[in-house]
Amino acid sequence: MLRTRLSPCLLIKDGALVKSINFKRHKYVGDPLNTVRIFNELYVDEIIILDISATKNKRKPDFELIANISSQCRMPLCYGGGINDLETILKLVSLGVEKVAIGTSAFINPDLIKQASEKVGSQSIVAIIDVKRTRFSKRLTCKYMNGKKDSKINPIEAAKKFIKQGAGEILVQSINNDGTMNGYDENLIKTFIENINYPVTVLGGASSYENIKKISDSYGPLGISAGSIFVFQGIHKAVLINYPSKNEKNYLTLTRDKI
């Protein structure tokens, strides 16, 4: 029996917690360490933390911040951002990071996935695929470097390549839906579920708890991640860290037999 995994995704920019829309328009949300402490009390399944300024600024992850987060975190921690060599991955794992998410480097140096999976195990390596749906043709393409560069690679082709290299999980993000709270890109999710018989976590556009239930019922069990709905509340998007109660989560992510 498997259950859909429900994971808040936190974005860090220059040490602060932010929320983006379409990978742009970053809004300050608060302090990442305090937010992790609140999520501890809400018993979340897993937390994903992505430093969106590390690779852009050509720097390593903030190891001090990650160490502080890891020491406080009482849930599995997945971290991505500024990862471009095996040494960095080993350092993150030594700090208590259970999963290392590789984004830009997965496209620039896919051998890093192979090296890392052989060293720390494929279960600890997540490949990030940021997907942009073109405006007119609706063609899907993979972007990297915070959505700035086009890989010219189809997302399914990229996923299969990363799986072959040894990634234990694929995190697929919709750039078009990111932060809009208009709902997940169901066509994108369906494409991955139908073509990738592998652990997949989807991210981008969650509009409500009911939206999560719809995705879980239609495509689960899988990983479902979200940002805005777990940090904002109300039509004015007031900052309020939240997560479903145990009963709510059981309703949203029903256990089912693996298909």
Distances (CA, A) of 150 to 69, 100, 143, 158, 211: 32, 23, 5, 12, 29
Mean pLDDT throughout 145-165?
95
pTM: 0.95
Query: Model confidence at 256, in pLDDT bands (50, 70, 90)?
Result: low
Q: Which two tokens stand for residue 146?
A: 């915070």
Q: Which of the residue ranges 128-142, 156-170, 176-190 would you say has the lowest mean pLDDT?
A: 128-142
Phi, psi of 61 (to 5 degrees): -60, 155
Query: Model confidence at 257, in pLDDT bands (50, 70, 90)?
Result: very low
What pLDDT is stored for residue 1 in this prediction?
A: 56
Query: Mean pLDDT in the chain?
Result: 93
Instruction: Tell me the catalytic residues.
Output: 130
Rounded Cα–Cα distance for residues 241 and 232 (Å): 7
What pLDDT is stored for residue 243 in this prediction?
A: 96
Phi, psi of 191 (to 5 degrees): -60, -45
What pLDDT is stored for residue 255 in this prediction?
A: 52
Mean pLDDT throughout 178-194?
96
Q: Could you tell me the domains of the chain?
A: 5-252 (3.20.20.70)
Query: Model confidence at 138, in pLDDT bands (50, 70, 90)?
Result: confident
Instruction: Bin 234: left if φ > 0, else alpha if -120 < ψ < 50, else beta.
Output: left
3-state SS, 49-96, equals EEECCCCCCCCCCCHHHHHHHHHHCCCCEEEECCCCCHHHHHHHHHCC
List all residues 6 or more positions away from 94 whose beta carbon is below 8 Å from its beta carbon: none
Mean pLDDT throughout 185-195?
96
What pLDDT is stored for residue 258 in this prediction?
A: 41
Instruction: Please check whether residue 85 is in contact with residue 66, taking contact to mean a CB–CB distance below 8 angstroms.
Output: no
What count of Cα atoms within 13 Å lies in the side-chain half-sphere of residue 213? 10
Omega of the bond leading into 221 within 30 degrees of 0 (cis): yes
186 three-class SS: helix
List all residues 6 or more positions away from 190 whose beta carbon is below 8 Å from its beta carbon: 219
Mean pLDDT throughout 131-142?
87
Phi, psi of 118 (to 5 degrees): -70, -30
Mean pLDDT throughout 61-89?
97
Instruction: Please check whether residue 246 is in contact with residue 28, taking contact to mean a CB–CB distance below 8 angstroms.
Output: no
